[in-house]
């Protein structure tokens, strides 16, 4: 596809790299020449310096032959204007990043009136993920597929966990359940599970199944279920606004520490049930506000370094659920070594959602990508495909399919019925199929075949 990205900030940079790696013809536009140069020097993409809301600049970028324009500048209004001009100048589809909470209730109207294919809000999606793990703190991450019928839950095998030393096959014999083991992350290595894989301490394991079965299984292996009654949040920016909204009636008491008085005032007026503290998040204030007794600590400042340091300090108080927001994506391996439990990266969230759309829009041969998620960043992807008529995979037992190595067919949703597939199961037309794979960038379900 021919794609124009307006905005070369962190989101634009991340998108340019992933869309380029997926084989798309990408052009980036930004008013700052240094940002354009940074993107074009890293990836095989074209760059235009200029205002992406001007028709002359978009024409220079090739808007008249473009298939898609993605506007991801830091200004919601600029992004929307870019999409309007793109619609006037070309016949391309448009995606706008809109993060302001004031626009959150207007998404449907904006899409309809401006003809947008998608309005992406990474901050809101990040808040949803945080709210999910606070409600179920045994998990590091929770992703939902098959219209919510399938959950993929990441857990860490800490010292004493009953799975340590067992193989996957032995686990299923000892703790029979309607779940599957998907992946195991061990240090910097990633594995697709098979029956002979033996669990070790500190492994991060992804479990797949219906929510009730996964939760029941975790209780059986003595994965201690922490109940979050209160949470301390540092940073009062946009994600915090959305998080307060999502957890307003959850029974979790929220306390927010924010250094900007105006932001504190806005939070306290909008969310009268939230305890808002105005001050710098230093050690003394954190102790004064009871960090040692809180059930969950969420670091949401605008600085990665501060979030990491705050979380490392909170980690000293055992039993707390930790959530850390990270903007930069180029130090993933180092951050993983810090063992910060749940790490949230809005940039990666935005990229996953847009990549899913782009792949589906390519009109794949026998199926479409319906969902996409980096289960282990840049190592393992989860893709959900809608199988079309006459797919070459239809009607063949899974055990007879010539699948590539490091591919797992994790779930089949057939008309609302969830199937955790075994060797004799078959894929049929109109099935929704969830696939876990170390082969990144799957465009079609048949790409998993040898």
The 3-class SS string of 237-275 reads CHHHHHHHHHCCCCCCEEEEEECCHHHHHHHHHHCCCCE
Per-residue pLDDT of 190-200, as tens digits, reads 999 888 999 99
pLDDT tier at 276, thresholds 50, 70, 90: very high
Nearest Cα residue to 296 out of 205, 225, 226, 222: 226
**What's the confidence (pLDDT) of residue 199?**
96
Residue 23 pLDDT greater than 90, yes or no: no
In the three-class reduction of DSSP (H, G, I as helix; E, B as strand; rest coil), residue 306 is classed as helix
Residue 127 pLDDT greater than 90, yes or no: yes
Structure tokens at 27: 């052009």
- Name residue 205's beta-bridge partners: 155, 184
Per-residue pLDDT of 174-192, as tens digits, reads 999 889 999 999 988 999 9
In the three-class reduction of DSSP (H, G, I as helix; E, B as strand; rest coil), residue 319 is classed as coil
Residue 363 pLDDT greater than 60, yes or no: no
Per-residue pLDDT of 92-101, as tens digits, reads 999 999 988 8
Task: Specify the pTM.
Answer: 0.86
Residue 301 pLDDT greater than 90, yes or no: yes
Complete domains list, the chain, with CATH: 2-120 (3.40.50.720), 138-220 (3.30.70.1450), 230-344 (3.40.50.720), 362-448 (3.30.70.1450)
Q: What is the mean pLDDT of the chain?
A: 90
Per-residue pLDDT of 37-61, as tens digits, reads 999 999 999 999 999 999 999 999 9
Structure tokens at 408: 């797992």
Nearest Cα residue to 434 out of 144, 239, 189: 144
**What's the confidence (pLDDT) of residue 322?**
95
**What's the confidence (pLDDT) of residue 47?**
97
- Of 71-80, 149-158, 395-404, which one has max mean pLDDT? 71-80
Contacts of 22 (CB under 8 A, 6+ apart): 355, 358, 359, 441
**What's the confidence (pLDDT) of residue 224?**
58
Residue 445 pLDDT greater than 90, yes or no: no
C-alpha distances out from residue 72 to 50, 194, 377, Å: 15, 40, 21
Question: Distance between CA atoms of 221 and 223, rounded to whole angstroms?
Answer: 6
């Amino acid at each position: 596809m021919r794609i124009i990205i307006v905005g070369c900030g962190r989101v634009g940079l991340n998108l340019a790299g992933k869309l380029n790696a997926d084989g798309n013809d990408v052009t980036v536009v930004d008013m700052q020449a240094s940002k354009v140069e940074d993107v074009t020097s890293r990836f095989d993409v074209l760059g235009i310096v200029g205002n992406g809301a001007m028709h002359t600049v978009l024409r220079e970028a090739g808007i008249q032959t473009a298939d898609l324009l993605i506007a991801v500048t830091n200004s919601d209004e600029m992004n929307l204007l870019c999409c309007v001009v793109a619609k006037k100048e070309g016949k391309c589809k448009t995606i706008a990043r809109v993060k302001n909470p004031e626009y959150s209730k207007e998404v449907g109207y904006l899409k309809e009136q401006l003809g947008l294919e998608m309005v992406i809000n990474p901050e809101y999606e990040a808040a949803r993920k945080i709210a999910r793990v606070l409600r179920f703190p045994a998990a590091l991450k929770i992703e939902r597929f098959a219209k919510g019928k399938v959950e993929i839950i990441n857990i860490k095998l800490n010292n004493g966990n009953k799975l340590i030393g067992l193989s996957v096959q032995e686990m299923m014999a000892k703790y029979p359940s309607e779940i599957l083991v998907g992946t195991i992350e061990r240090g910097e290595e990633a594995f697709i599970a098979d029956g002979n894989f033996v669990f070790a301490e500190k492994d991060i394991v992804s479990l797949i199944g219906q929510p009730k079965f996964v939760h029941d299984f975790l209780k059986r292996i003595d994965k201690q279920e922490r109940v979050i009654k209160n949470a301390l949040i540092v940073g009062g920016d946009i994600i915090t606004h959305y998080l307060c909204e999502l957890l307003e009636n959850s029974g979790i008491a929220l306390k927010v520490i924010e250094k900007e008085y105006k932001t504190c005032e806005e939070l306290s007026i909008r969310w009268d049930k939230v305890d808002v503290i105005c001050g710098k998040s230093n050690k003394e204030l954190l102790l004064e506000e009871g960090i040692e007794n809180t059930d969950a600590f969420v670091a949401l400042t605008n600085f990665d370094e501060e979030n990491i340091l705050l979380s490392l300090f909170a980690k000293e108080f055992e039993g707390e659920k930790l959530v850390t927001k990270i903007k930069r994506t180029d130090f993933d391996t180092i951050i993983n070594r810090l063992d910060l439990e749940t790490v949230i990266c809005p940039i990666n969230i935005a990229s996953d959602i847009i990549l899913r759309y782009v792949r589906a829009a390519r009109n794949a041969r026998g199926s479409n990508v319906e969902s996409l998620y980096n289960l282990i960043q840049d190592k393992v992807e989860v893709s959900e495909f809608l199988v079309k008529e006459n797919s070459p995979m239809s009607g063949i037992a899974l055990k007879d399919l010539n699948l590539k190595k490091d591919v797992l067919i994790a779930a089949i949703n057939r008309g609302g019925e969830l199937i955790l597939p075994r060797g004799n199961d078959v894929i049929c037309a109109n099935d929704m199929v969830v696939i876990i794979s170390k082969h990144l960038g799957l465009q079609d379900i048949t790409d998993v075949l040898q």
